[in-house]
Structure 1
Amino acid sequence: MQDISAIIAGCKKWDRSSQEALYRQFFGYAMAICLRYANNKDEAIEILNDGFLKIFHHIDSYDSSRPFKSWLSKVMANTSIDHLRSRKKIHFTEDITQVYDLGMPDEHAISKLTYEEILGLVQVLPPAYRTVFNLYVVEGFQHQEIAKMLGISEGTSKSNLFKAKRILKEKIDALTSMNISGSGPIGATQPS
């Protein structure tokens, strides 16, 4: 694995081999971020490529005193949001002033699911719910920050997170109870 500071220095000079090295080194990490926001793998690849183009064009703005992965993560998340916005796929639900925290399904239930199953559940969330869920739960942003990023109110952010958690909890509970009832591996269907 090539030294990241040397790769970044090469990218600043528009060196193609450095750009390719950066792409290869962070492809998996960036793809995982994009998949959380996208509806499918093809859309995630489109977002990923747009994100890397932004990185190459704006690499001079990267602050080398901070971790590169954090900067890349922020670029990929923002590119994902821009992609959804440009496709008008984000429709936020109404603002609610009081949201009760459902919490997440118990860890025992989640431990029965594979990464691909969890990702699949997140991907079927409506785009607005998925975006707020990812920004809050995965990326660690607060509702005030999410509201500013997405141009919505904090209450709308909270409402969308609440609804995303409710849907995920129902789907995880259904999948894990299906597995407990003897249907075999999670996601397997019983013969009709």
Structure 2
Amino acid sequence: MQKSIGISDLDLIRGCKSGDLKSQELLYKQFYGYAMGVGMRYLSNRDDAMEVVNDSFIKAFNGIKFFNENQPFRAWLRRIIVNTAIDCHRKNLKHQNQEDIDLVVNHGKAAEALENLSAKDILRLLDKLPEIHRTVFNMYELDGFNHDEIADMLNIPVSSSRVYLSRAKDKLRAYILQQQKRDYERAIR
């Protein structure tokens, strides 16, 4: 939830366009929580997410003169954050050792288990995914990008985007089933 500071977003944006540092500070404070929420969906490390958010605000302030005031600022900022998170992912990709593990087939119980999960539980499950799977899942399911856009932004084939999304969903189902099994075993003890 945003704190109201008594100045409209549009007035803050216009102040930023004119180079007013106080407007930049207030706009940053106004959208910091939202930006961190988006950043944390793409990066499980809070420090990395904070770095992406700060870099995103710098990019936003440098390019705010191109912002169309007839469009929602929140959507414009989200796209900057997503692109910056993807850049961070690419930069760190060479340091990652990803292993794909074949997971259990969905037994139809995952949908029922989802009803019992909180938002924190779901975010914890997303954090278990390999970074590329989490990124594609977030971009497709949460941010509404299509596979062509994802492939272009991540510099991967469209077919890989589809495969990563499918694997992410399979892994999430398996995690949910594992959690459900643990809960059942605790209940019968």
* TM-score relative to the length of structure 1: 0.83
Task: Report the AA paired with residue 150 of structure 1.
Answer: L
Please tell me whether residue 166 in structure 1 is matched to residue 183 in structure 2: no
Which residue, out of 116, 136, 142, partners 2:140? 136
Residues 136, 164 of structure 2: 8 Å contact kept = yes
What pairs with 1:42-191 in structure 2 (closer than 5 Å)? Answer: 42-88=47-93, 105-106=110-111, 108-183=112-187
What pairs with 1:17-36 in structure 2 (closer than 5 Å)? Answer: 17-36=22-41
Task: Report the AA paired with residue 147 of structure 1.
Answer: A
Distance 1:137 1:151 in 2: 19
Q: Deviations along 1:127-184, whole A, 9 cap, x unmatched?
A: 1111111110111111111111111111110011111111111112211332244459
Alignment length (residue pairs): 178
Q: Deviations along 1:53-91, whole A, 9 cap, x unmatched?
A: 111111111111111111111111011001111222688
Distance 1:92 1:58 in 2: 35
Aligned counterpart, 1:99: none
What stretches of structure 1 of length at least 5 have no aligned partner? 94-101, 185-189
Task: Report the AA paired with residue 159 of structure 2.
Answer: G
* TM-score relative to the length of structure 2: 0.84
Query: Cα–Cα, structure 1 residues 103 and 156, in superposed 2: closer, same or farther, change >3 Å?
Result: farther
Stretch deviating more after TM superposition (108-117 or 4-13)? 108-117
